[in-house]
Structure 1
Amino acid sequence: MVKRFLAQSMRRRTGLPSILMLLLVAAIIATIAWSLVKGFERERALRAQVEATSASMSEFGNMQRGVFEAVTGAHGYALKGDPRYLRRYNAGRETTENALETMANLPGPAEAGDRAAKMRELRETIDTHFRMIEIAVQLAQQGSTEEAQSWIAATDDYDRMTSIVALTQELEGEEAALLARDITAVEASAARTRPILLALLGSLFLFFLIGSWYALRTLRAERRAQAASAERAAREAADLLANELNHRVKNMFAIVQSIVGSTLRAESDTAMAAQKVGQRIQALSVAHDVSQGASTMSINALSELIERTLAPYEQDNRAILIDGPRVHLPRNLVTPLGLIIHELATNAVKYGAWSVEEGGTVKISWSLKGSPEMLKLTWQESGGPAPEEPDQTGFGSRMISTAARQLKAEVDQNWLETGLEVVISFELPAEEDDQ
């Protein structure tokens, strides 16, 4: 208990720095990501302001050209009455109005000072200028060319034009200064973003290295665990194999002893007894191969498997009854079923119906029913000593259980007064599933 507590405490202390490192890397990445988002938002606002300032400067140029076109057209129309000048006048006014409306809708910087007041003053000056020259245009349209010329000469527009040009240049200068400042700010923001991106990439790379280190460490631990598990499984398999070998050797000795003893008692002729002993031991070897799947003989039927497995046990003082329909036995079922029959026969010789001198009988019968087909095989002993259910499970019983799992079978053992009864039930696979 103390060792387990210490091991758990050590694992917790080992894991704490790892968790703290992961949290630190996550915090660094979150901070850098937040800085990037804020930087991108600031840069986007600056770029929007740069675009607005550029658009304002472009519209200032359009407005100046519009005013010049309108004044030139109005003067030409008043002097000559040529309609082409009138179209030039109207086009100039339209260009000016569009430029003023566009500039009014563009967002202006908060630091522009009295930009709005100057824009209003510029608009009022242009409107006044257009109202004055509109009178000359209307007089010319009415045919009063001399009055139109007199009106133009009387209304000196030099001061208004000078005021328009001055206001326009002043606003353009302010916009140019703002544009230069915003461009510088955008470049500075981009310059600040580069190291942040590099820091983010470095943090991600660090996180990748840490994750890779943890993954490698986990992989090594898993491999060590798998190796330990495989080694443990190999030891268990070796122990099982050794126990099975020991069990089979003991059984073989008991069966050989039974074969020799019963043959010598039944035969007075020594030569004939020796011949029968040799034949029965040879049959025992064949039955062992069949039960282990090592036989070169082709087993195609259940009756054939039972006959070959029980051949060594046939003696005059023993009865073997086999009854059942012909059943094709798939190859993958031969070994586990042969192992069960061989084990039951061995137990019958050692403890059951065949352990007595006379009258011991073993009946093996089977039947098929249902779809898919279910095979029910019954091993029934009689004529021997009354069986007793063992207090604990022996190695032979565990072997039968293991073989039954391979068959996916249910095994019921009944210790009746007449003798042991074992019922084995399992499903026969379809022929196309026979491997």
Structure 2
Amino acid sequence: MFIRRWFNWLVLGAMAGAILGAVLLLLSTGAAERAERNQVERLGDVLLMLDRIERAALSAESAQRGYYITLDTRYLKPYRTSRRDAETAMERLARSIDDRMTDEQRAEFVAIEDALNDKFAELDQTIGQVERGQLRDARRQILEGEGYDAMQRLTAAIDRLAQIENRLLDEQSARAQAAEARILPLLGLLLLLLVSAIVLGAVLVARTAQAETEAAQARELEVARDRANLLAQELNHRVKNLFAMVLAIIQMSAREATDVTAYKDRISARIHALLTAHEVTQGHGTAADRLNRQGGASLRALVEATVEPHVSQDKRLVLEGDDVPIDRVQVTPLGLVLHELATNAVKYGCWRDAGELTVRWTRKGNLLHLDWQEDWDTAGQKDGEQPAQSQGGFGSTLMIGAARQLGGEIERTFGPRGVTVSIAFPAQPGTAAA
């Protein structure tokens, strides 16, 4: 149980690891690509602003030189436009690099800002001198080179900041490439985890199916064991009943016997009747093979198996009735009664010399009615001779016990042409006869 639980957790962990790894891989790769894309956009904006700042400074310087040389005030308009462009570009540059500005970037930004302020301060001073007519002072200011130095510092700072931005872009690209390079190995690992999880899941399903099969087999085995125990108990009960019946036959036959040979013949015949009844219940024997269904036996098969061995040319038999099934528990007592009646018919009744025996049965509602009617042939009968009657003894005792076991009634009537026996018992055992 512990191993199976551990195995289940292993399968769950493998599947969870594969799914989590795939999610992390996608997130990391997507983050690297987004960072590279943002860096590219940021670099493009920074380089554009740096170019606009440098162009604005150059344009302002050109306008300042044109105004100094020509004294034409039309040069002041592009100068002011270039100054506004430079200020706007500095503001956008500050916004572009302000989010993740490093100390190195901040230093270059400050250098650009200072150089640009110095440049425009020199240009403003020169233009003011020209406007006031101080051309010599303006010429001296230009020749001193403060504007040139400021312009050189501005250009150098712009180049350095551009280099910094390009380096940051290269670093971000390298990180993105590294993330992309990890995709294939990680995908292979994730694929391995998924395959392992699938295999483990298949093994788990197989083990579950095996466990269910074993449980079903265990249940079937338990049911079969209970059935075997029930059959053993039933067999034990029937064997005990059979021994009791044999013992009763031996005891009752001993009371009637006049010598050992007669005693042996009676016992043999009655035990043979038990055997015949048992064969009918099991569907064996010549007559019994024709019907054995629904856990019962054939009433016709039982009658035929009991009385047909005595039939001859002079000893005739007439059977009337459909092939009616009866319960197994009814076969033995009814078979013993029929055997006893057939024996009496041979010894004392219609089959002692010549005659006809009629056995008919019908079903009325829940009751089965069986009539046994003997008819002597009167041709060879002496005047006044009556059919002999069997003495009371085992036969009477047997019929009383059989009626009780069948849950019905047995009536015998002795007439001038032979004995008539009426048997009525329920078609299903356990139902009381009317």
TM-score normalized with structure 1 length: 0.48
